[in-house]
Amino acid sequence: MQLTLDPAEPDAEGGVHARDESHAAESLTALPPDPSLAEAEPEIDAGELIEAAEELLRENAPHDFDVLVIGGGPGGSVCAIRAALLGLRVGLVEERELGGVCLNRGCIPTKTLLESVEVLRLLRRAREYGITTSGGFAPDLHAMHARKDEVIARLRENVRRQLEKSGAQVLEGRASFVGEHVVEVKAPEGPVRRITAVHVVIATGSLPLRPPLPGIDLPGVLTSDEIFHEKEVPQVLVTIGGGAVGVEFAYLFHELGSRSILVEGDRQILPSEDDNIGREMDRLLRGYGLDVRAGRKLKSIESSAQGTRLRVTLESDNGEEVVEADRVLLALGRRANVEHLELAAAGVARDEKGAVQVDAERQTSVAGVYGIGDCIRSVGWAHQAAGEGTMVAEMLAGRVPSIDLKHLPSCYYTHPEIASVGLTLQQARGEGKAARVGRFDFRSNGRAASAGEHEGFVQLVVEDGSEKLLGCQIIGPRATELINEVVVALKNGSTVEQFVGAVHAHPTFAEALPEAALQALASGGNLGGQRGGSIIEEAEKDDLATDDEGREGDYQ
């Protein structure tokens, strides 16, 4: 194994750098000798030496795999495929379905159902677009589930094929440690296999949380895992938790016809997002008819007198309130899925929440054993797990990982969508940075006007002086697609001028990004007194600069 980790730590961005010998050699020849270093003793890190020696021993002892990955979700499967493509002998153990929570009980099923709801939304508005729907239409939850299941099956097969093509070997069964680099795999039927590997990557993901509250296990109290089995739309759904999972399901069932009550303990839904975003989503959801109750916590649940419904008691600073529901959805977070792993047998430490403890290189307390994805933080994003999988695979293959784990987008697939990356203005100022925001409203965007999607805005956070982009928050059409452009800009350390300098196609929703950047330039006094904005859209904006309620548009 060629890996030599630089003891110099992870960089400020959470990335790590394996030592690149060729670059080191280059810079040595390029620099004049430094006399102050002539007498210096070379520094030897004893811990690292021992680790390298142990790794050498493991490599030379008989072993089944160079890398054994436990868990075939986005973290584990990406890690296995990448490591195998980089020439390592890789095994991947999965006890359920390939694709993990993301593909089977998370990202893909929710987004597939939400796409059906999007069609329903458009049909309801068909007349606005000049279309008559004389035959009528109605959602069919059974058919929506059938479509969702087909999508999942197709994508799962895709993961299997990619693993096969890469040369990674898939082992079906539950893995548990019996030693530091020794794992037993118990298949549902068949013998127990004992496997040794030079490196083990734990990627076992997370499970929904059921807090220990009265009535939490009553029939009809569901988590995101069970709600996918519901074949009827509940008349009243109470969703507890106003984060990504809660908001998406509450919105979904509202559109399908439930009376949807969304409860959030914080003073506002989407508490991990910028205040303006949470406030705008709250306003829009209420406008659609959702019953949003922020600042309230779940106290208990009990069956109604007839036993047919659930009585949900919420508590807040103002006292208690009871709501009746057919179903309660718990969206209160997740916990690391490590119960069956026998981590103690390997000596892998867990943090105070029970998740696998790792350092910045995602190495656990045991050398050569790594942790990635939800199992190291309990709740995360699929792309975060996949990014960590790529990073660890590249490190294990002796490469310098090129993945940027600092700029991770957050995405919410409601209507309109929400996406953000990097710092909010408050966070930037909290870090002592002088910063400002450039904002642009979609109601002044040509494509948004033609699509009939006027809601929402883009906020770009820009550092004063350096003029670098620090972050972006979007609520509006295709927000989850637009954000990727900003991710690339942030990774490249782009300034706001560089961002504005890239000509965007017209008319597109993405034009809102350079428009917001122009606003930031203008508010920084960098436009020489010009009003920002493309000439093409000036006429459109002049028409749209005042919205229905007579408020002035933000493009000013």
Ligand X SMILES: Cc1cc2nc3c(=O)[nH]c(=O)nc-3n(C[C@H](O)[C@H](O)[C@H](O)COP(=O)(O)OP(=O)(O)OC[C@H]3O[C@@H](n4cnc5c(N)ncnc54)[C@H](O)[C@@H]3O)c2cc1C
Q: Which residues are catalytic?
A: 506
* Interface with ligand X, residue 93, by CB under 6 A: yes
* Interface with ligand X, residue 205, by CB under 6 A: yes
Pick the binder of ligand X from 74, 278, 416, 446 (CB under 6 A). 74
Q: Contact at 8 Å (CB) between 365 and 347?
A: yes
Nearer to ligand X, 181 or 439 (CB): 181
The least distance separating ligand X from the CB of residue 386, rounded to whole angstroms, comes to 8
Nearest to 347 by CA among 362, 359, 365: 365
> DSSP 3-state assignment of 303?
strand
Query: Residue 194 is encoded by which pair of tokens?
Result: 């004992």
Sign of CA dihedral 520, 409, 353, 361: negative
* Interface with ligand X, residue 75, by CB under 6 A: yes
Any residues with CB less than 8 A from the CB of 368 and at least 6 apart, and which? Answer: 51, 54, 55, 58, 180, 181, 198, 199, 200
* Interface with ligand X, residue 337, by CB under 6 A: yes
Q: Which amino acid is at 478?
A: R
Alpha-carbon span 282 to 270, nearest angstrom: 9
**Footprint (CB under 6 A) of ligand X, residues 103-132:** 106-107, 110-111
**Footprint (CB under 6 A) of ligand X, residues 9-48:** none
* Interface with ligand X, residue 537, by CB under 6 A: no
Q: Name the DSSP class of 419.
A: E
- HSE-up of residue 149 (Cα within 13 Å, Cβ side): 8
Pick the binder of ligand X from 65, 83, 91, 94 (CB under 6 A). 94
Closest residue to bound ligand X by CB: 205
Count the site residues for ligand X by CB under 6 A: 38
The least distance separating ligand X from the CB of residue 247, rounded to whole angstroms, comes to 11
Backbone angles phi, psi at 426, to 5 degrees: -60, -45
* Interface with ligand X, residue 314, by CB under 6 A: no
The least distance separating ligand X from the CB of residue 362, rounded to whole angstroms, comes to 12
* Interface with ligand X, residue 82, by CB under 6 A: no
Q: Looking at 19-27, 148-156, 347-355, 368-376, which segment touches ligand X (CB under 6 A)?
A: 368-376
Q: Contact at 8 Å (CB) between 55 and 367?
A: yes
Nearer to ligand X, 91 or 514 (CB): 91
The least distance separating ligand X from the CB of residue 369, rounded to whole angstroms, comes to 14
Q: Contact at 8 Å (CB) between 372 and 389?
A: yes
* Interface with ligand X, residue 489, by CB under 6 A: no
* Interface with ligand X, residue 96, by CB under 6 A: yes
Pick the binder of ligand X from 69, 80, 83, 203 (CB under 6 A). 203
Q: Name the DSSP class of 126.
A: G
Q: Contact at 8 Å (CB) between 540 and 446?
A: yes
Instruction: Give Rg (Cα) of the chain.
Output: 26
Nearer to ligand X, 73 or 514 (CB): 73
Q: Looking at 8-16, 21-29, 52-60, 94-102, which segment touches ligand X (CB under 6 A)?
A: 94-102
* Interface with ligand X, residue 341, by CB under 6 A: yes
**Footprint (CB under 6 A) of ligand X, residues 234-273:** 245
Nearer to ligand X, 335 or 468 (CB): 335
> DSSP 3-state assignment of 387?
helix
Q: Name the DSSP class of 103.
A: H
Nearer to ligand X, 251 or 499 (CB): 251
Nearest to 247 by CA among 334, 139, 331: 331
Kindly report the number of other CB atoms within 10 A of residue 549's CB atom: 5
Q: Contact at 8 Å (CB) between 352 and 339?
A: no
Nearer to ligand X, 80 or 520 (CB): 80
Query: Of all helices (H) and strands (E), which one includes residue 88?
Result: none
Angle of helix 107-124 relative to helix 141-166, nearest 10 degrees?
A: 140
Any residues with CB less than 8 A from the CB of 74 and at least 6 apart, and which? Answer: 99, 100, 102, 103, 373, 382, 383, 385, 386, 389
* Interface with ligand X, residue 409, by CB under 6 A: no
Pick the binder of ligand X from 65, 66, 68, 73 (CB under 6 A). 73
Q: Looking at 19-27, 37-45, 202-210, 277-285, which segment touches ligand X (CB under 6 A)?
A: 202-210
Q: Which amino acid is at 312?
A: V
Per-residue interface string for the shown chain with ligand X, residues 153-182, x marking contact by CB under 6 A: ---------------------xx-------
Angle of helix 141-166 relative to helix 74-85, nearest 10 degrees?
A: 30
* Interface with ligand X, residue 438, by CB under 6 A: no
* Interface with ligand X, residue 374, by CB under 6 A: yes
* Interface with ligand X, residue 222, by CB under 6 A: no
Nearer to ligand X, 92 or 435 (CB): 92
Pick the binder of ligand X from 68, 69, 71, 234 (CB under 6 A). 71
Phi-psi region of 458 (alpha: psi -120 to 50; beta: other; left: phi over 0): beta
Q: Which amino acid is at 82?
A: R
Q: Which amino acid is at 91?
A: G
Strand-pair partners of 297: 315
Alpha-carbon span 496 to 452, nearest angstrom: 29
Nearer to ligand X, 174 or 443 (CB): 174
* Interface with ligand X, residue 364, by CB under 6 A: no
**Footprint (CB under 6 A) of ligand X, residues 375-404:** 375, 380-383, 385
Alpha-carbon span 350 to 141, nearest angstrom: 41
Nearer to ligand X, 68 or 516 (CB): 68
Q: Which stretches of the chain bind ligand X, using CB under 6 A?
A: 70-76, 93-96, 100-102, 106-107, 110-111, 174-175, 203-206, 224, 245, 337, 340-341, 373-375, 380-383, 385, 411
